Amino acid sequence: MEGAEIAARLDQAAAATGAGAAAFLQGLIRLQAEGEAAVQARVAEEAGLLGCQVERRRYRPAEVPLKEEFAAEAAMAAEEREAILARLPGTGGGRSVIFFAHPDGEPFRKDHGWRHAPFAGAIEGGRIHGWGVADDLAGVATMVQALRLLRAAGLKPKGDVILASTPSKRHARGVHALLHGGVSADAAVYLHPAESGAGMREVKALASGQLTFRITVKGRLPATNEPDHAAFAHVAVNPVDKAMLVLAALRRLDAQRGNRVRHPALQAAIGRSTNLLVGDIRTLGDGRASRVAPAVQISCALSFPPGERLSAVRAEVEAALREAPAADGFLRDNPPEVLFLSGVTGAEVPPDHPLWHATAEAVRLGTGHMPEIYPLHTSSDIRNPMVQSGIPCVGLGPLCGDLTQNGGRDEWVDEADYRRGVAVVAALIALWCGVEAA
């Protein structure tokens, strides 16, 4: 079936089904008030009604095997979680695809300061507001409603379509659990609204890796019982001074990597392919200006492009931190302590890949314009199928804004772009898996 006929059928079906896609998303927002399990139960129910074979898979994040990724135990979700796996068997002869999105959002805060009720799913000014609607209930709703739209259009996929509603926040690793639990396909698509402001005009096909770490630089208090240390500062070792040496070593590493590490897409988009960000510096004292702090803590994040190994990047950081003490007697005897908090490896789908061509054509059919590859989303979940299982993966979603995870209020998804997203995903299923008339 040709793209024009597919688009015509989907347009006709979308017009006939009215506001059903938005209503389903609003329902998921309201169910959040009852907890993640209620959202997952609704997703499982709807997928079953659409003819999917539905499984509920329980797992513990800390027990999920990983490739080229790690997280400190303290940063991980400890409780048992549940992933919903829904498989719509194809009629035969087509390629398979996994669509995945995460139902879990940021922890709810009573002092949220929102103008809209967080769990009401209100629509105002063409925007659907709700806690976690853009991160990532819209993605969950999109994949379910895309199957409903295909069914309404009288189209049956030839290849298997797998829907995975998988917890992700705080290293919950839901999609990892499925991938390492035997779930596989010819391609994968991560459905998540576009944080960049481009909506359906962009597709994530490249995700840089990221290494986060925390350095502790110790000092030495003056030998006194006086509450104030200013008069004794010359006989103390101020960790702030020693932290400056560590920061200088990090700056040198950043400059060296910036000159040496280059990725064509990143260089073209932003003029730089890797960065070392010092995101937070704090003393581990009581905050008084008149006392020497016992230590300084430096928190950092280092982005690196696809093609670099996580282990190699980590080794460079360790080498830089050995360099700082080399010229300082105190640091040689009291070297900086580094704790690596988390690390993920980058991955990409090149512009000549069949998945990119199918995705771009689906966006064109659903929106009327060709998308561009967005390469600047560090550690995007599109990396997971590629790194963990070698499955090519892209990501897309509707326009959104005011994300709670970024400190925003009244998180929203553009209703019209969300509906276009449903049509795009339905078209992508048709183009990638192949379809036949029901």
Cα dihedral 167, 61, 173, 385 sign: negative
Within 155-231, strands assigned E span: 155-157, 161-165, 188-191, 202-204, 206-207, 209-218
Please report, in tens digits, the pLDDT of each residue of the chain (438 residues total).
788 899 999 999 998 877 899 999 999 999 999 999 999 999 999 999 999 999 999 999 999 999 999 998 777 777 899 999 999 999 999 999 999 999 999 999 989 999 999 999 999 999 999 999 999 999 999 999 999 999 999 999 999 999 999 999 989 999 999 999 999 999 999 999 988 888 999 999 999 999 999 999 999 999 999 999 999 999 999 999 999 999 999 999 999 999 999 999 999 999 999 999 999 999 999 999 999 999 999 999 999 999 999 999 999 999 999 988 888 999 999 999 999 999 999 999 999 999 999 999 999 999 999 999 999 989 999 999 999 999 999 999 999 999 998 899 999 999 999 999 999 999 999 999 999 998
Report which secondary-structure segment, H or E, holds 13: helix 3-17
Residue 87: per-residue pLDDT: 98
Task: Please provide residue 285's backbone torsions phi and psi, each rounded to the nearest 5 degrees.
Answer: -105, -155
Tracing tokens 């898996």 back to the chain, one arrives at 433
Residue 21: per-residue pLDDT: 95
Q: How far apart are CA 222 and CA 231, in angstroms?
A: 10
Residue 283: per-residue pLDDT: 97
Model-level pTM?
0.93
Q: How far apart are CA 208 and CA 265, in angstroms?
A: 11
Nearest to 233 by CA among 220, 243, 248: 220
Domains of the chain (ranges plus CATH)?
3-207+346-437 (3.40.630.10), 209-344 (3.30.70.360)
Contacts of 16 (CB under 8 A, 6+ apart): 152
Residue 324: per-residue pLDDT: 82
Residue 334: per-residue pLDDT: 95
Residue type, 317: V
Task: Give the burial string for 319-351 (b: 16+ CB within 10 Å, else e).
Answer: ebbebbbeeeebbeebbbebebbbbbbbbbbee
Q: How far apart are CA 134 and CA 401, in angstroms?
A: 8
> What SS3 state is found at 342?
strand
What Å distances lie between residue 131 and 134, 410, 411, 430, CA to CA? 8, 8, 6, 32
Strand order, beta sheet including 69-71: 69-71, 337-344, 209-218, 295-304, 275-283
Residue 331: per-residue pLDDT: 96
CA atoms within 13 Å, Cβ hemisphere of 224: 14
Q: Please, are residues 87 and 424 in contact by the beta-carbon 8 Å criterion?
A: no
